[in-house]
Structure 1
């Protein structure tokens, strides 16, 4: 049953995944490299040459400026000075966004932007941090 749900989620996220694949393909021309990460249900483009650092998820694609998602980062709350929290794994945070895309499909991007975009106030980012900290709670309205 889980396999069917994952398959349906990947199909539901496909328009966003297509955007990610297009961006990733452009990155390949500039030195990025790609591989499938089964645990994250995503194709990861490492060495993606644009952005301030970190990662961006589009459907089942993760665009990552570094060499490995298995690196630590700070939570949004920690970065903003709202809390003193232990570092999390970037892979876990981005996996939560993959799950969010698979649940919300085309609704993800407008809802994400309506909730504040890339900021500590965004419930999607707080949920991704919560999931990275605990392994649970990736749903933004939990």
Structure 2
């Protein structure tokens, strides 16, 4: 885990800058050991209840990551699925960042950005649903 945190440190630095800016407008940092991340809760910008991961930092507009959220496929109307844990979804992204480090953001964008077609988002939803399969190149192809 420590090596992964070092590998993704450039992404984490961006997250810390963004989170630090958010604290000027009411965001509150909290370390979540199980998620290997510093979470900036009450982040002042973004979709209500939304979250974004940058390395070992998660910015979240809500009060707590331990809430349910719809999967990308559910929101896109491709299927009906029960809500998944937002914390688990974002934890999957933390794992992805720790493996891919500085390659994460370019690969994420190449794979479609914030979209149901993005294999990173599908893997994070799969992990949040099952507790397995956070790696973007595992699991079923869509």
Q: Does TM, scored on the shorter chain, surpass 0.5?
A: yes
Query: Are residue 91 (structure 1) and residue 87 (structure 2) matched?
Result: yes
Q: CA deviation at 1:52?
A: 1.7
Residue matched to 1:15: 10
Q: CA deviation at 1:51?
A: 1.1
Unaligned runs of 5+ in 2: none
SS in 1 for 2:20: helix
SS in 2 for 1:92: helix
- Match runs of 1:1-142 below 5 Å: 6-53=1-48, 54-142=50-138
Structure 1 CA distance for aligned equivalents of residues 128 and 78 of structure 2: 17
Structure with the largest fraction of helix: 1
Structure 1 CA distance for aligned equivalents of residues 82 and 25 of structure 2: 34
Structure 2 CA distance for aligned equivalents of residues 86 and 45 of structure 1: 26
SS in 2 for 1:44: strand
Give RMSD over aligned pairs: 0.4
SS in 1 for 2:122: helix
Q: TM-score, normalised by structure 2?
A: 0.96
Q: TM-score, normalised by structure 1?
A: 0.96
Structure 1 CA distance for aligned equivalents of residues 127 and 47 of structure 2: 23
Structure 1 CA distance for aligned equivalents of residues 90 and 27 of structure 2: 18
Structure 2 CA distance for aligned equivalents of residues 83 and 39 of structure 1: 30
Q: Deviations over 1:20-68 (max 9, x none)?
A: 0000000000001001000000000001101123100000000000000
